[in-house]
């Protein structure tokens, strides 16, 4: 793709110009955006870049391993892997307000990067995979009055005490363009085609308080749902699919025993940029199959519902 080849050259030149001989630290989230940003920056400035993957304990099943393998083995880009799940879960305990969750996570991310930057002898720049829709959605909604719908954890600049400047080479791109750039940079198809995943991770897919147990339950259910979606050949036609663990218990029956367990909501949408979205029209047999598997295989869930809300009026994520 000649346009992406040109963008790649220009963006690399801009990064070199901005950074000079400075040191850059790049936060990887596990998603496509930060991975593409990191590979692009590495191409531009080589070992002036240090990548830091903060595992906040809010990732999907197998996600941390996939990212580490991609960077260390496929690209041979040095990667610091920080397991910060203890801190994140401790600071999030008792927090149930969605904006409070997002702000807590954003603050902790900065703290961890700050201390990792100090460890590598200080960094002058912090690189992020911020996209154009992240920028506008955090500022205003569809050109309307300036109301914050959600504080994206990675938008809004850095606290004053932080001396690092931001490097955001994807700030003008939409998701499909980032994917094209990722392919141009040689990222594996399976990685580039992954559904978007929000920085605050599973924390915003568990309304109410977050606990390790709830996270484990959601991770298992989510993995089964996505496995069924792949098996049905639907992964690539869906923009994003995920499960949400509801803080609601209902009565059920399993064998000849009464159960009293949580409800799981399934969500799947089609979209081109995440700004608007339509709920996905599954075949009912598919939904029945996924629900049966989840209820049989995941302890703690005895009822599954499907979300038929489009965006607007809903947002894609529940929080």
For ligand XMP, the binding residues (CB under 6 A) are 137, 150, 152-154, 196, 198-200, 240, 274, 311, 315-317
**Complex with ligand XMP: residue 35 or 45, whichever CB lies closer:** 35
Sole residue written with tokens 């000079």: 20
**Complex with ligand XMP: residue 57 or 196, whichever CB lies closer:** 196
The answer to the question of whether 31 is labelled as a binding residue is yes
Min dist CB 309 to ligand XMP, Å, is 11
The answer to the question of whether 252 is labelled as a binding residue is no
Min dist CB 217 to ligand XMP, Å, is 20
The answer to the question of whether 35 is labelled as a binding residue is yes
Q: Which residues are within 8 A (CB) of 190 and not within 5 positions of it... i.e. 6 or more apart?
A: none
- Three-state secondary structure of the chain: CHHHHHHHHHHHHHHHHHHCCCCEEEEECCCHHHHHHHHHHHHHHHHHEEEEEEECCCCCCCHHHHHHHHHHHHHCCCEEEEECHHHHHHHHCCCCCHHHHHHHHHHHHHHHHHHHHHHCCCCCEEECCCCHHHHHHHHCCCCCCCCCCCCCCCCCCCCCCCCCEEECCCCCCCHHHHHHHHHHCCCCHHHHCCCCCCCCHHHHHCCCCCCHHHHHHHHHHHHHHHHHHHHCCCHHHCCEEEEEEEEEEEEEEECCEEEEEEEEEEEEEECCCCCCEEECCCCHHHHHHHHHHHHHHCCCEEEEEECCCCECCCCCCCC
The answer to the question of whether 182 is labelled as a binding residue is no
Residue 93: exposed, middle, or buried by beta-carbon count in 10 A (0-12, 13-18, 19+)? exposed
Min dist CB 17 to ligand XMP, Å, is 26
Whether the ω angle into residue 134 lies within 30 degrees of 0, i.e. cis, is no
Min dist CB 148 to ligand XMP, Å, is 11
Report d(CA 286, CA 266) in Å as an integer.
Answer: 12
**Complex with ligand XMP: residue 66 or 270, whichever CB lies closer:** 270
The answer to the question of whether 30 is labelled as a binding residue is yes
**Complex with ligand XMP: residue 152 or 214, whichever CB lies closer:** 152
**Complex with ligand XMP: residue 124 or 273, whichever CB lies closer:** 273
Length of the chain: 319
**Complex with ligand XMP: residue 153 or 179, whichever CB lies closer:** 153
Min dist CB 314 to ligand XMP, Å, is 8
**Complex with ligand XMP: residue 41 or 316, whichever CB lies closer:** 316
**Start-to-end Cα distance in the chain:** 37
**Complex with ligand XMP: residue 40 or 131, whichever CB lies closer:** 131
Min dist CB 21 to ligand XMP, Å, is 30
The answer to the question of whether 314 is labelled as a binding residue is no
Q: Which residues are annotated as part of the binding site for ATP? A: 29-35
């Amino acid at each position: 793709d000649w346009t992406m080849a040109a963008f790649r050259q220009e963006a690399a030149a801009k990064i070199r110009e901005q950074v000079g001989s400075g040191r850059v630290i790049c936060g990887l989230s596990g998603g496509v955006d930060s991975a593409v940003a990191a590979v692009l920056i590495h191409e531009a400035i080589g070992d002036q870049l240090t990548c830091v993957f903060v595992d906040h304990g809010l990732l999907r099943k197998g996600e941390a391993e996939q990212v580490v393998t991609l960077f260390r083995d496929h690209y041979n880009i040095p990667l610091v892997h920080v397991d910060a799940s203890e801190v994140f879960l401790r600071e999030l305990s008792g927090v149930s307000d969605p904006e409070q969750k997002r702000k807590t996570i954003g603050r902790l991310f900065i703290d961890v990067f700050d201390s990792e930057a100090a460890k590598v002898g200080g960094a002058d720049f912090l690189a992020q995979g911020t996209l154009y829709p992240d920028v506008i959605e955090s500022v205003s909604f569809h050109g309307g009055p300036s109301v914050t719908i959600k504080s994206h954890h990675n938008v809004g600049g850095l606290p004053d005490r932080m001396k690092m400047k931001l490097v955001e080479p994807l700030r003008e791109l939409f998701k499909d363009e980032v994917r094209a750039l990722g392919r141009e940079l040689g990222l594996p198809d399976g990685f580039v085609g992954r559904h978007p995943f929000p920085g605050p991770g599973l924390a915003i897919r568990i309304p109410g308080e977050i606990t390790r147990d709830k996270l484990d339950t959601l991770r298992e259910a989510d993995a089964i749902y996505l496995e069924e979606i792949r098996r049905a050949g639907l992964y690539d036609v869906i923009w994003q699919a995920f499960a949400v663990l509801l803080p609601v218990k209902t009565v059920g029956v399993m064998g000849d025993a009464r159960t009293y367990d949580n409800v799981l909501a399934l969500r799947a949408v089609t979209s081109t940029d995440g700004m608007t979205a339509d709920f996905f029209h599954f075949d009912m047999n598919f939904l029945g199959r996924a629900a049966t598997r989840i209820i049989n295989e995941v302890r703690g869930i005895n009822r599954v519902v499907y979300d038929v809300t489009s965006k607007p009026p809903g947002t894609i994520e529940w929080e």
